[in-house]
Amino acid sequence: MSDLQAFQAETRAWLKENCPASLLGAGGGGLVGTWGGRKWQPENEDQRVWLERAAEKGFTAPTWPTDVGGGGLSKAEAKILAQEMRALGVPPPLIGFGLTMIGPTLLQYGSEEQKQEHLPKIVRGEIRWCQGYSEPGAGSDLAGLQMRAEDKGDHYIVNGTKVWTSYADEADWIFALVRTDPKAKKQEGITFLLIDMETPGVSVSPILLISGSSPFCETHFQDVKALKSNVIFKEHAGWTVAKALLGHERSMVAEAFGGGSRRSLADRARAYLPGATADGPLPDGGLRRDIASFEMEARAFGLTMQRSRDAAKAGQQPGAESSIFKIVGTELNQRRQELLLHIAGPQALGWEGEGFADGELATTRDWLRSRGNTIEGGTSEVQRNIIAKRVLGLPD
């Protein structure tokens, strides 16, 4: 038996032994699951047990080093773990921006003390993180941010407002971009700073979206004291860290919207189209071709992500793929949401209440939510500018 086969057998046995039976098949992933944090209230005891056991094993952050509480697994082993979890229907024990965004960034740019301070708490789901990047006056032009951090020796005094801070009302800590040198060129006066959300002067107000939900907040900072020991990398060098983190975020957004196994669009269409038979051609030829067109482009996108992964595995330098993936992944998801509207027809118009199935109501809200995909994490227009400049070498 090879090492990987042994690992697979061991992992399967461990998962069967340790994941509470009530959670099997619960799904999760993307933005659904256990976020953890100080304010977290488990829906049931099993959820808490599963988080604790997985964290103890290092399986909440399988590829992170063991000295910060990670699993220390190789990529091949992590892939097996993911496969086994899917096969058994084991839900992810923990999700969130700690694992996908600030964690990888700390591993790359954090000091040893910072890693030891923050990463184990992420692994155990004790601290939930949010992102403080955009401001009311700094969206696509992120480097134009104004939130001021004034030097007071061993600490800063922070004043300003962050917007689109996802789930800030649930978060314990924020990783934020602050302006430490207002005189420098705009990219050069920015510092990447970690701030405890319980610090006096921090306040949060949720933003109601067109979809009716409020996943984003506005976060205000009034004379907030932040220690300099919480600067990541170097003072005034925050733009470098921010770009690295945006790379993680774009891959995450693209992966989340890129594919996944779902009930086929054609099967959904059969349920709504008059005259549809169980296995014949869909009676609406235009819709049929739109579905085919979407599925084929989604496959082309999936193959491109695979090509990029295969190149990385072979040790080749990554190209500008992460920018391409953001544009294509998000636009494909918007197309998918629009197709779902067209498939459901008037039944896609429900907001709440009688006469609409849960899935139909979700279709309406998901469509509205998807319009933000091409804005958040760097708009599609900014992504196109990046490709034109960095990849194609077109002049400013």
Partner 1 sequence: MELILTEDQELIAKTAVDFVGERSPIARMRALRDDGDPAGFSRELWKEMADLGWVGIPFAEVHGGADLGLAELTVVIEALGRGLAPEPFLSTVLLAGQLLQRSGDDAACARWLPGVCAGDTILALAYQGVTSRYDAFSPSVVATASGDGFRLAGQAIQVLDGHVADALIVSARTSGEQGEASGLSLFVVPKDASGLEIVRQSRVDGRNAALVQLDDVAVSAADALAGVDGGGPLLQQTIDRATIGLCAEMLGGMQQAFELTLEHMKTREQFDTVIGTFQALKHRAADLFIEIELAKSVVMAAARAADEAGADPGELARHVSVAKAHCSEAYVHITNEAVQMFGGVGMTDEYDIGFYMKRARAAELTFGDAAFHRDRWAALGGY
> According to the binding rule CB under 8 A, does residue 340 interact with partner 1?
no
Query: Is 150 noted as a catalytic residue in this protein?
Result: no
CA atoms within 13 A on the CB side of 376: 21
Q: Which of 7, 175, 301, 367 binds partner 1 (CB under 8 A)?
A: 301
Q: Which stretch binds partner 1 (CB under 8 A): 34-42, 297-305, 349-357, 363-371?
A: 297-305
CA distance 97 to 257: 16
Which CB, 32 or 296, lies closer to partner 1? Answer: 296
> According to the binding rule CB under 8 A, does residue 76 interact with partner 1?
no
CA atoms within 13 A on the CB side of 204: 23
> According to the binding rule CB under 8 A, does residue 271 interact with partner 1?
no
Q: Which of 19, 194, 224, 327 binds partner 1 (CB under 8 A)?
A: 327
> According to the binding rule CB under 8 A, does residue 307 interact with partner 1?
yes
Task: Confirm if 156 and 147 have CB atoms less than 8 A apart.
Answer: no
> According to the binding rule CB under 8 A, does residue 296 interact with partner 1?
yes
> According to the binding rule CB under 8 A, does residue 314 interact with partner 1?
yes
Calculate helix-pair angle for 321-344, 238-258, nearest 10 degrees: 40
> According to the binding rule CB under 8 A, does residue 291 interact with partner 1?
yes
> According to the binding rule CB under 8 A, does residue 332 interact with partner 1?
no
Which CB, 279 or 358, lies closer to partner 1? Answer: 279
User: For tokens 């900072």, what's the residue?
Assistant: 221
Q: Which of 190, 324, 339, 344 binds partner 1 (CB under 8 A)?
A: 324
Tally Cβ neighbours within 10 Å of residue 167.
21
Number of residues that bind partner 1 (CB under 8 A): 42
Which CB, 148 or 270, lies closer to partner 1? Answer: 270
Q: Which is nearest to 96 in space by CA: 70, 122, 118?
A: 122
Q: Which stretch binds partner 1 (CB under 8 A): 36-44, 66-74, 78-86, 378-386?
A: 378-386
Q: Which stretch binds partner 1 (CB under 8 A): 38-46, 63-71, 184-192, 322-330?
A: 322-330
CA distance 150 to 133: 18
Burial class (CB in 10 A: 0-12, 13-18, 19+), 269: buried
Q: Which stretch binds partner 1 (CB under 8 A): 126-134, 274-282, 342-350, 356-364?
A: 274-282
Q: Which is nearest to 258 in space by CA: 307, 328, 318?
A: 328
Q: Which stretch binds partner 1 (CB under 8 A): 15-23, 166-174, 319-327, 369-377?
A: 319-327
Distance of alpha carbon 66 from its chain centroid, rounded? 23
> According to the binding rule CB under 8 A, does residue 178 interact with partner 1?
no
> According to the binding rule CB under 8 A, does residue 357 interact with partner 1?
no
> According to the binding rule CB under 8 A, does residue 393 interact with partner 1?
yes
> According to the binding rule CB under 8 A, does residue 391 interact with partner 1?
yes
> What are the φ/ψ torsions at residue 237 (nearest 5 degrees)?
-110, 25
User: For tokens 């979809």, what's the residue?
Assistant: 211
CA distance 396 to 393: 9
The encoded tokens of residue 177 equal 């971009």
Q: Which residues contact 99 (CB under 8 A, 6 or more apart)?
A: 60, 61, 122
**Active-site residue, from 113, 249, 352, 376:** 249
Q: Which residues contact 180 (CB under 8 A, 6 or more apart)?
A: 149, 151, 156, 189, 190, 191, 235, 236, 238
Which CB, 361 or 387, lies closer to partner 1? Answer: 387
Give min distance, CB of 116 to partner 1, in A: 38
Residues 226 to 265 in contact with partner 1, rule: CB under 8 A: 264
Residue ranges that bind partner 1, judged by CB under 8 A: 264, 266, 269-270, 279, 281-282, 288-289, 291-293, 295-297, 299-301, 303-304, 306-307, 310-311, 314, 316, 321, 324, 327-328, 381, 383-385, 387-388, 391-396
Active site residues: 249
